[in-house]
Amino acid sequence: MAQNEKATITLNDVEYSVDDMNEEQRLLLAHVTDLDRKLSSARFNVDQMEIGRQAFVDRLAVSLTAEPEKEAAE
């Protein structure tokens, strides 16, 4: 059985039906939704960059504290 639930949003503790919105309100909602998606993606990318950076810092620290390799015979 399919349910016919109306799409709603809650803004400032008030629930609004998307079907009752005018064209401008729907456009504004689309912008908010798109910006939420972009912010989430940006946070995901920042997390990856921070972890990747830390991995390189860790490898640098290991490299700097490791015994120096003997250079090849001249």
Residue 68 pLDDT class (50, 70, 90 cuts): confident
Taking the model in full, what pTM does it have? 0.70
Residue 43 forms part of a structural domain: yes
Residue 15 forms part of a structural domain: no
pLDDT at 72 over 80: no
> CA separation (Å) from 29 to 6, 15, 33, 41, 70?
15, 13, 6, 18, 64
Per-residue pLDDT of 7-65, as tens digits, reads: 999 999 999 999 999 999 999 999 999 999 999 999 999 999 999 999 999 999 999 99
Q: What is the pLDDT of residue 67?
A: 82
Residue 30 forms part of a structural domain: no
Query: What range defines the domain where residue 49 resides?
Result: 36-64
Number of domains in the chain: 1
Residue 71 forms part of a structural domain: no
In angstroms, rounded to a whole number, what is the distance separating the alpha carbons of residues 35 and 42? 10
Q: What is the pLDDT of residue 21?
A: 97
Residue 59 forms part of a structural domain: yes
